[in-house]
Amino acid sequence: MDVRIEESWKLRLKEEFDKEYFIRLSEFVKEEYRTKTIYPPGNLIFNAFDLCPFEKAKAVIIGQDPYHGPGQAHGLCFSVKDGVEYPPSLKNIFKEIEADLGCKPVAGGDLTRWARQGVLLLNATLTVRAHMAGSHQRKGWEEFTDSAISSLNRERDNLVFFLWGAYAQKKGEAIDRTRHLVLESVHPSPLSASRGFFGNRHFSKCNQIDKFFCFFKSCR
């Protein structure tokens, strides 16, 4: 199957595209876009991969589902286009960045600037029905994104994996802690942020790994 995705990722994931689960997934997703309102726009399903080629990835943030409200999802976990109101988890991420790094992030919720620096902003499930969180779970996306994480774990060294919340931590169970830095805490959701996300200092810990890049610290 010919899938439009950035070439270095296409090389690593090409075997997935011909597996039975991915063929079924593709048929399901095409029908969903034809008959329902689905996010993100179809041309942005693989945006996280397209903006962060395999060899340039330095850090990975694992989310769960795309946002399911109008105008929010654009293929990067936790990110929204500039001009869109910050979702609560993104607000808390920015609060922790300010507290940890002593610097207000650039105005705007579009995290494309992080992706271009080498942060893979990967949701476990890459599509969702409007206003129906979790509606495309267990259709095959999880197996596909597991393969992407496995390729990074196996072929790269000294990456930083952010596992926020039980779901991301379970998805990252197989990451080799002897070769990669794995940062775990509760999710930045308002339901849990005060129980360990605030004060986790994950952003400064990540920045210490690569002295040539200062991830996340983009001041006004």
Q: What's the distance, CA 164 to chain centroid?
A: 11
187: left (phi over 0), alpha (psi -120 to 50) or beta: beta
**Annotated catalytic residue 65:** yes
Q: What's the distance, CA 209 to chain centroid?
A: 20
Phi and psi, residue 135, nearest 5°:
-70, -20
Instruction: Give start and end residues of each alpha helix (H) in the chain.
Output: 7-17, 20-35, 47-51, 88-101, 112-117, 141-155, 166-171, 202-209
Phi and psi, residue 175, nearest 5°:
-65, 135
Catalytic site residue from 65, 82, 100, 146: 65
Cβ atoms < 10 Å from Cβ of 192: 18
The secondary structure element, H or E, covering residue 120 is strand 119-123
Strands 160-164 and 38-39 turn out to be unpaired
Residues with a known catalytic role: 65
